[in-house]
Structure formats: C-alpha cells, structure tokens
Amino acid sequence: MSRRSIYSPAFLVLFMLFVSCSPNELIYFGPSSQITNSLFGTVRGYITDISNHTVIVGARVNISSGFTVFSDETGAFNLASSLPGDWEITFSAPHYSSYTSNISIESHQTNILSVELVRNNSDVIIAAFNVADLKITGSHDFLAKWMKSASVDIIVLEEIQPDDAPLLDSALTSNGVSLPYHVFTIQYGYPNDYIAVWSKWPVYDASDIVYPVYTDPVSGTNISLSYLRPVFKFRINVLGSYPVWFYAAHLKAEYELDPAFLNLQKRRTQAQIIQDTILATQNIYTDQIVILGDMNTALPEDFDSGQTLDILSFHNDNPANPSNDFIPINATFLPDDAWTISTFSSRLDHILLSPGLFPYYVSNSVNIPHPSPSPSDHYPVVITLKYGNF
C-alpha cells in the first residue's frame, strides 16, 4: 500500500542558535569549529528534506548582502565572513519549495541554522539507466547514491538481473532512499539481461511483450527476434492519482560488423512492435504514456525517416499528421552531442512522451548526468513531470 505525505510549502522548520564571543575566542561546533576574530559574522548549518531527513546536496543559500554558497555532499553550508546587518536569507533546491527568512548578523557572531525544505508534491522525476549488469565493484552503492542525489521517483533499469534486487534494495536503504516497489520482466534476452523498474508507488499490470517473429515495417519481410529482450509494459499511478503507462525497452545492439544493417532492421522492427501495441491498446491523445530505455540507436541511420527513432516517435505512421507523434525528449531538447554512453559518441538511450503526457513535462528538465563514481558505462536520462497541486 503506497503512502504519500502532503506538506504545505510554507511548512519549514528553522532552528537558529546565536553564539557571541569576543575576538580570538575559540568556538566549538564539532569538526567545523573556528575562531571568529574579524569584524564579520558567520552563518552555517545543514539543509535536509523535511519528509525523510536526508541531506540535500547542491542546495543554494543566498543572503541579500550579495553572497551565495551551495550545500556540500553532507548537506552543510558555510557563509563565512558575512557582513553585519539585517538581511534576508533564501534556501532553494531543484524540486523543493524555496524558503526565505530574516536574519541578523553581528560581528564575531556565528549563526547556526538547521533548515528542512519541502519537496514539491507535484514533481515526478523519471529516469532510464542501462546499468551494465552492475558488475563494477561497489556499483549497487554507486547507483543508490546517484538515485538519492537525483531524487528519482521512478527508474527503469536495463541490463540487470533478479539477483541484483536484494543488493540494490540494501544499498537504497543504507543511503536513505525509499523506492519500495520493484518489478522485473518475466523473460530475459541474451545474455541473461532483464529490464526492471524501481518505483515510489506500486507497479500494476506488468507484462512482457514478446514476438518471436514480426514484420519489418520497411522491407515487409518477417524478422526473427529470437533471444532478444522483451518490451516491458506496466502502469504506475504517480503521486497515487495519475495513471502513467510505461513501455520500457532495450533494443537490439550494434555489437558486430553489420554491413547488411540486420541489427538496424531488428531495432526498427522492435520499435514497430511498441508502436503497434500502443495503437491497439491505448488512446495516445489522452493516455499518459512513456517510452524509455536503451534503444541502441548507434547509427546515423537510426535517426533517419522511417527508422528506429522515427517509428518510436510515431512519425512514420502518418508523416503529414503529427498530432499523434510522441516527443523524443532528449533527442529534441538536448544537443546532438549529448551522448548517453562514455565509451563512444552515441545517443543510445531515450525518453519519449505521448501527446497526452507531454504537457506535464517541465521545460528544460531533461538532463544526462554523469554519476561519479559511476555504476555503468552508460549515462542515465532524467526528466521531470509536474502535476497540479492537490
């Protein structure tokens, strides 16, 4: 049973401790103790999430006297050498409601603030990540740490096995991440690769879409898809209220020399399966649908008219009428060199949104972060959706 907490954006806990001292007096506050021996004051403290008390990394702290700092990996910030006076101080972070308060700074005074920010209830962060079998030592922990820093709500993982689930769940728990629901595909593709989802909300109607043979939309010939990974279809009621359908895929890779473009032929045929399934079972104008995953679009031809991404975008079904087209988010809104893999220059991984879901996309939210340390040779693709306040 899913649970969600709704906090008023105005609800923020702010604790302040004012400590005055004379010049050259040593003030102890744990590891960050210092001597306040100048005419300036100091403001420092920690920034955390009010709902789960995890630290917020990279939160912006701005004081109206003109100084700005950002919280570090422990959530700590330090506005040293702050000018004395009465100022406004503002705390903000992506996906959180900002908070502004008044503060009085005096010479030789240290102000310690513990600030808890409120996550925007209407934001939903979705990611797709090929995790390369999590074979790097420490990769489960690396992945969990990145998921925490990105505040991911739903993440689709490719190249993962069921044996990884307890290890990743343990790493998530250790890092204070609550994504209690995960589901794997039933079938796997060569070599033993599954697709899985981890989610903040329950996963419903999960099924594998598998066709051993399917018709290539370009040549019209029947193509064997044996040993290839299934398409993973499922539904999540995001925020507990909004049904979103997911079609997660890991299309045929471009491993071997392929002068006859047989791998491209298989990818576009798999893409056609996704399109045909959606057209047969969903209303693409009103249903909220995400297509995401490692589409292995390694060749320039994958981006040509009538080929892999064009089919996934539904552009090929009626090029003269784009009203039902899906929007390939990173391919549309990021530069052509926004690669999603570290070992060569290619845009392999994608997130596409249906016409019924695209209005909820937060402009400029798509990004391809480079986790460090990284659990994979791929980079994740991340977007934010925003729903109305409720």
Asked if the structure places residue 321 within a domain, the reply is yes
Q: Which helix (H) or strand (E) holds 330?
A: helix 329-333
In a domain, 6, yes or no: no
161 and 244, same domain (yes or no)? yes
Same domain, 140 and 78: no
Tokens of 251: 């299309």
In tens, the pLDDT along 312-330 reads 999 988 888 889 999 999 9
Domain coverage including residue 248: 123-386
Domain assignment present for residue 317? The answer is: yes
Q: Taking a C-beta distance cutoff of 8 angstroms, is the pair 263, 252 a contact?
A: yes
Tell me whether residue 192 is in a domain: yes
Q: Are residues 270 and 298 in the same domain?
A: yes
Q: End of a domain among 117, 140, 163? A: 117
The model's confidence at residue 257, banded by pLDDT at 50, 70 and 90, is low
Model confidence, pTM:
0.73
Using a pLDDT cut of 70, give the percent of the chain over it.
Answer: 87
CATH code of 53's domain: 2.60.40.1120
Let me know whether 226 and 263 are in one domain: yes
Domain boundary among 94, 117, 140: 117
| Chain mean pLDDT for the chain | 87
Domain tally, the chain? 2
Is the domain of 156 the same as that of 101? Answer: no
Tell which of 117, 145, 165 closes a domain.
117
318-329 per-residue burial string, b: 16 or more CB within 10 A, e: under 16: eeeeeebbbbbb
Residue 259: per-residue pLDDT: 66
Q: What is the DSSP letter of 361?
A: B
Contact 237, 152 (CB under 8 A): no
Give dist(CA 222, CA 329) in Å, integer: 31
CATH number at residue 346: 3.60.10.10
CA–CA separation, 118 vs 295, rounded Å? 36
91 & 167 share domain: no
Cα separation values, 174 from 3, 77, 125, 148, Å: 20, 23, 21, 11
> Does any domain span residue 3?
no
Residues 341 and 372 in one domain: yes
The mean per-residue pLDDT over the stretch 274-281 comes to 97
In this structure, the answer to whether residues 176 and 309 fall within a common structural domain is: yes
My answer on whether 106 and 129 are in the same domain is no
pLDDT, tens digit, 9 for 90 and up, residues 83-110: 888 989 999 998 788 899 898 888 888 8
Segment (H or E) for 29: none
Establish if 8 belongs to a structural domain: no
Backbone Cα Rg of the chain? 24
Residue-wise pLDDT for 142-199, tens only, equals 999 999 999 999 999 999 999 999 999 999 999 999 999 999 999 988 778 999 999 9
Q: How far is CA 226 from CA 212, 229, 292, 307, 310, in A?
A: 5, 9, 22, 21, 24
Alpha carbons 105 and 7: distance in angstroms, whole number: 30
Spatial CB neighbours of 33, under 8 Å, sequence gap ≥ 6 = 26, 27
Higher pLDDT residue, 234 or 4? 234
- Distances in Å between the alpha carbon of 199 and those of 203, 236, 282, 388? 7, 8, 22, 20
Tell me the pLDDT band of 245, cut-offs 50, 70 and 90.
Answer: very high
212: pLDDT strictly greater than 70: yes
165 and 305 within one domain: yes
Q: Are residues 182 and 113 located together in one domain of the fold?
A: no
pLDDT for res 390: 31
Which tokens belong to 59?
């939160």
Please tell me the distance from the alpha carbon of residue 114 to that of residue 91, in angstroms, as a whole number: 11
Region 220-247 average pLDDT? 94
- Residue identified by tokens 């909820």 is 360
Do 277 and 347 have their domain in common?
yes
